[in-house]
Each structure stands twice: as C-alpha cells, then as structure tokens.
Amino acid sequence: MASSQPGTGVSGLARLRSALPFSSRDWGLLLVAPGVLLFSSFMLYPIFYLFYISLTDATFAGSVIGGGAELIGLANYVQLIGDSQFWTSMTTTWLFVAVSLVIKVILAVGIALLLNHVRVAGKRYMRAAVIVPLGFPGIFTITVWRGMFSDARFGVFNTILGRYNDVMSSLSAPQALLFDVPIGFLSGRWEAFFAYVTTEVWLAYPFMVIIIVSALQDVPKSLHEAAMVDGAGALQRFRTVTLPAIKGPVLFASILTAATSFQQFLIPWVFNQGGPSRQNELIIVYGYREAITFNQFGLSAAILIVGIGFVGLFMYVAVRYGGLAEGVGDE
C-alpha cells in the first residue's frame, strides 16, 4: 500500500504542519526548547540560586538548605566594597590572568611556528609531545609542580639553582650572579605568584598550540611566496602575512584560556592556599575560604556572583570588540 502511494507520508506531514498555528521559526524554537531547558536547569538555575543566597545572611550550610537565612538585600555587596581583602584578591586575580596570558600567547605562537616550519624534522612526533600535558589529570600535574617549587633545599628548582651556584663559583663569577638558595618559592608573595603563573602556563599552552598550528596550516603558501618575491624577510612576512591570518584563532584561544585563568582554584589552593598571608588569594579561593573557613555563605555567594559578572563582562567585550562576533545574526 505504501509503495502504491509514494510521498503520502511527506504530504501528510506537510498538511499537519500547515494545519498547526506554527511558522517555520516557531518549529525551530520548539526543536531547541529541550536543550534550552536542560541548559537552564544545569547552568542558569544554580546562578540565580547563588544570587539569592548572596542576598541573605546565611552563615552555615543548614541555613542555605533549610531556609533559615533571612534576606538582607545588598548588604553583602556593600561589605565587599569596604573589604580590602576583596580588592587585593581582585587585583591579584587580574594580574595573574594578564601575566599568564601574555606568556601563553608568546610561548604558544613560538612553538606553533616551530612545529609548522618546513625545515623542522619529526614535526608529527613533536606535536604529540606538545600535547602530553593534556593527558594528565590537573590535580596530578599541579601536585608535581608544587613539589618542584618546594621551599626545601632538595626541591627540584632549588637543587638546580644550587648546582648553578657551584658551577659559577668554580668559574669565580661575581657574587651578583649567584642565587641565595634555598628560595622560598611558596613562602614569598611574588615567588609564589611566579610559581602559579608557571604552572598555569604549563597546563594551558598545549590547547593554544593546537589552535594556532591548525590556523597556520590554513595560511596559503602562495601569500608567503608572493611576499618573498617582493623581498620581505622572515620577520616582515610574519607581521604582514602570518599574524593577520592567525589573529582570529589566537584571540579565540586567548579568551577561553583567560576566562579559565580567572576561575583558577586548584593551583593556589594546592600550592599554599593563596598565601603567604592571603596575599595571593585569587577570587575563587577567596570565596571558597569565606564559605568553608569562616562560614560566611552569603558573603561567599556575593563574591562568586561578582566573579561571574566579571567573567561575563570580559567575555562579552572580548567577543564583541575582538571581531569574533562578525557575521553572527546576519541574514
């Protein structure tokens, strides 16, 4: 019966669609509605609930879950404005994001250019080696780096600096070229900050290298050949041909890694819990400590809401004015 009336099912579906008061756009909205509902359940609802907690005086977990907290309006946000630790944490967080991002971009672009150069042999194996850090759990890698930055004399970096001092002393080098070993990498503010940045760069650079290598492979060789014919050197070709071609992917990867750096928790907490004396307390560590250590759940929620707001604003500005949204929504 079905074979004798080809197209009956299709025409029946068309008649059903025409009988219903839905346009094609309405049908599209209906199709994406389940995904939007799931997204709202797992993403938007927790954020709204966190905002609600930030408007309360919740001081322990039971007051949050059992509803014992009372609404106090924006008092927690007003308290944050007058809290010097909040401004220290925010400043340290943005400095951490900026410094690590600059180093990641420079390092990733340099490695990507090396892996894409025609004169480099074994590029396939080198690319595999570059992404090795992605294969280890983050907590494992961070714990290893913490051991390397140990304040003890037998820590990896202190041992290397000690051997360096021995070599330089044997060469009668000036005292200014020697290091005062052991260095307290985890007990000094800027030493610990340097350790944070180094570990963050190690964790994030493989992702950026993958993105940039893919972008470099899409740059037409004819553009480089034409630039060489015009007499452009390697640096000039990089500035006028390569850099404009990979600007979009580099910006895209930078936005994602910068947002991830802003939310970094494991590195400062595992290293020295944001120390010394809370001087390197990134914003997420600050919010976590207020909730778990000081039982200020309402204040902690306000801190995290502010952090979410900064990340959202950063993402909007970067995408909107970075050119990544070009063509979106165009008919």
pLDDT at 6 over 90: no
Residue-wise pLDDT tens digits, 271-293: 999 988 889 999 999 999 998 88
276 within 8 A of 191, measured Cβ to Cβ: no
Question: What six digits make up the tokens of 176?
Answer: 């200014």
Looking at residue 241, the DSSP 8-state letter turns out to be: I
234 — phi, psi (to 5°)?
Answer: -65, -45
Instruction: Provide the mean pLDDT of the chain.
Output: 83
Q: Where are the domains of the chain?
A: 38-149+184-320, 150-183
pLDDT at 5 over 60: no
Residue-wise pLDDT tens digits, 44-79: 888 888 899 999 888 876 666 556 778 898 999 999
Alpha helices in the chain, H assignment, sequence order:
8-19, 24-39, 45-54, 61-65, 75-81, 84-115, 123-130, 138-148, 156-170, 189-217, 221-229, 234-237, 243-262, 266-272, 283-292, 297-321
What is the band of 324 on the pLDDT scale with cuts at 50, 70, 90? low
224 within 8 A of 241, measured Cβ to Cβ: yes
Torsion of CA 281, 284, 288, 291, to 10 degrees: 110
What is the band of 128 on the pLDDT scale with cuts at 50, 70, 90? confident
Whole-number pLDDT of residue 98? 94
Looking at residue 175, the DSSP 8-state letter turns out to be: G
CATH of the domain spanning 38-149+184-320: 1.10.3720.10
Q: CA 24: distance to chain centroid?
A: 38
Query: What is the average pLDDT across 75-84?
Result: 92
Whole-number pLDDT of residue 252? 87
What is the band of 226 on the pLDDT scale with cuts at 50, 70, 90? confident
Task: Write down the residue that tokens 């290091």 correspond to.
Answer: 179
Whole-number pLDDT of residue 35? 83
Whole-number pLDDT of residue 302? 94
- The CB density around residue 87, as the number of other CB atoms within 10 Å, is 12
Whether cis (ω within 30° of 0) applies to the bond prior to 244 is: no
Percent of the chain residues past pLDDT 90, beyond the cut:
31
Question: What six digits make up the tokens of 285?
Answer: 């560590």
Distance in angstroms (rounded) separating the CA atoms of residues 253 and 211: 7
Instruction: Give the global pTM.
Output: 0.83
What is the band of 262 on the pLDDT scale with cuts at 50, 70, 90? very high
Distance in angstroms (rounded) separating the CA atoms of residues 210 and 276: 35
